[in-house]
Every structure is written in structure tokens, then in C-alpha cells.
Amino acid sequence: MELNQLQQIVAIADEAVLSRAAEKLHISQSALTRSIQRLEDELGIQLFERTKNSMKLNDAGKLVVKHARHVLKDADALLSSLDAFKKRHLSLHIVTCAPAPLWKLNAELSGQFPDLHITSDMPDEIELVSLLLTEKATLAIVRQEIQTDAIESMPFIDEQLYMQIPLSDPLSRKKSIHFSDLRGKEIREYIHTGFWHQMHRDCIKEAKYIEYDDIMVYTNVVMSQKPLTFTTALANTLRTNMEGCVSVPIVDPEATAHYRIAYLKKNKSMLSDVLKWISKACNEW
């Protein structure tokens, strides 16, 4: 026997009329009748007293209904316990199109869900959808809403790009700048910045870039030499008070990223606690 057959016989007992039970179960009356007949065949006993215009539970049927209610209740308890178990033992692999929103999310999630096992990666941006669809990633930080029936996304946080400028540069006296103001400038840059790395080159083609692969070397250069370099307000990387420099916002549209959190729709229930917390917390960041 199958659980849906037990649900059907309980529905018949509750509704008393076959047509109402079929309507409640969203199946046709004939389909319900055939399913109950298969159940009787499997059990080897008649469960109803049938007349030309009605069918009524007999004693055997009432016994089956009694136990069916217990079985269905236990099945619901099993699913609830399993759902709770999944949430307690949830493991997240987060992929992102840029590092700073990932730094922020990882730090905050680890504090809020200390038992949550979190891993992360920053692949090429074009791989994010595929990683979600193949379930090699649980969450993805993306820049646009993904157009697929299998994936859902919600607003996350914004990232505003700034330029750290030494006071000796005339640009330091501006309240805001455009990418065009940086043409011909020498810019120091850490290269592992996701989509930002290529976007900088697309928007400031005439700049001279000095690139750093090692974050410690790059940080030491920024702190000691105070060169022109990109910075951001996320994850405490905006150094507005660094001696000898100012951080000036870049106001071109491309300089602001509007991030979203994407996930598979089928995993929404399992991720509900995490998603609800992210939705609330990101409004406070």
C-alpha cells in the first residue's frame, strides 16, 4: 500500500461522501474508486459495504482508517523531524561574483549560525548559474536576477566603489569622481576582485595598472605608499581616515553593484531560516 491510498481512505471517512472526498483530494471520483479497489486487493479484504448509489466503511474499513491516521501522523512527524535535522546539519557552499559581499556574508552567518558549516569560492561569474543548477553550490551572490524556473533570488546588499587618492593628487579635492577622471593614472590593484577586475579595465582603458596577486603584499603597498587604488565600504575595507589619503566615491552607474542571493527553489524550505535572517539582516548592514 502507499501513503496516498491511506490519505484517500481517511478522506472518505472524514467526508462521508465519495464525491466530496475526491474533490478534497483533487482527483476524479473514478480515479479514487479505482485506487481504493487496488487497496482492497492488496489487503485481501473488502473495506466498504457497497450499494448501487453509495459505499460505506465496514468494520474492516474502520480498522484500516484508525491505523491509517496513526501512520499518516507518524509520516508527518518523520518529515518534520527530517526537516529539522537538515537545518541543524545544513552545510552551505557559497559562490560569488565578487569578494567583499562574500566576506560580509560569511562573517555575519558564522556569528549567527555557529554550527553551520560554510565553504565558499569565487569562480568566473558565468559559472554561477551552472554551479547552482548542478547543486555544487547552495547559494550564489549574483548581480542580476537569474531568468530560470529552477532558481529564485532575493535582494542582498549594494557595493559602492571608491577610489583611495593621495592628498597630493588634485582629484583628492573632489567630492566625487567619474571613471573618466582616472584616464592615464597609475592605479595599484589587487587582482582577485571577481567581476570588478575586468570592469575596471572596460571603464578605464587608458589607466596604467600595477597588479598584485598576494593580498599581504598589496596591503603593505597600500598602507606604506598610499597609491591610487580601488576600495569599497563593504567588509571594513574602506579606509576613509588613512593618513595622507581620502576615499572618494566613483559615481558612474557601473561603480555600484546591486547584489542578489540566488538559490534553487526546491531548497527554499531547507534554507528558510538562513534566507529569512539574511533578508532581515542585510537591511541593517
**91, β-bridge pairs:** 117
| Res 52: pLDDT | 73
Q: What is the enclosing helix (H) or strand (E) of 48?
A: strand 48-50
Same domain, 69 and 19: yes
Domain of 9, CATH number, reads: 1.10.10.10
Instruction: Give the pLDDT band of residue 239 (cuts 50, 70, 90).
Output: very low
Same-domain status, 102 and 35: no
- For the record, the C-alpha cell of 167 comes out as 592628498
Could you tell me the pTM of the whole model?
Answer: 0.68
CATH of the domain at 209: 3.40.190.10
Q: Are residues 142 and 274 in the same domain?
A: yes
Please identify, among 58, 88, 118, the residue that sits at the C-terminal boundary of a domain: 88
Q: Does residue 218 register a pLDDT over 90? A: yes
Taking each continuous run of H as one helix and of E as one strand, the counts in the chain are 9, 11
Which structural domain, as residue segments, surrounds residue 224? 159-256
User: Does 206 lie in the same domain as 188?
Assistant: yes
111 and 146 housed in the same domain? yes
Do 240 and 271 reside in the same domain of the chain? no
Looking at the structure, do residues 184 and 266 belong to the same domain, yes or no? no
Q: CB 170: neighbour CB atoms within 10 A?
A: 9
The answer to whether residues 163 and 248 belong to one domain is yes
The x, y and z cell numbers of residue 151, run together, are 532558481
What pLDDT, on the 0 to 100 scale, is given for residue 88?
Answer: 61
251 and 186 inside one domain:
yes
Contact between residue 239 and residue 247 where contact means Cβ atoms under 8 Å apart: yes
Q: Which three cell numbers stand for residue 104?
A: 560580509
Number of domains in the chain: 3
Q: Give buried/exposed letters for 140-151 (b at 16+ CB in 10 A, else e).
A: bbbbeebeeeeb
Which among 50, 69, 88 is the end of a domain?
Answer: 88
The pLDDT value recorded for residue 86 is 65
Question: What's the pLDDT at 238?
Answer: 47
> What DSSP assignment string belongs to 237-271?
---TT-TTEEEEEB-SGGGEEEEEEEEEGGGTTTT
Q: Which of 88, 110, 142 is the last residue of a domain?
A: 88
Is 46 in the same domain as 71?
A: yes
Contact 118, 94 (CB under 8 A): yes
Q: Does 265 lie in the same domain as 249?
A: no
Torsion 63-64-70-73 (CA) sign: negative
- Per residue in 49-72, pLDDT (tens digit) is 987 777 889 999 999 999 999 999
Cα 202 from Cα 98, distance rounded (Å): 16
125 and 181 assigned to the same domain:
no
| Type of residue at 159 | E
Q: Are the C-beta atoms of residues 179 and 204 closer than 8 Å to each other?
A: yes
Q: Distance between CA 130 and CA 146 in Å, rounded?
A: 11
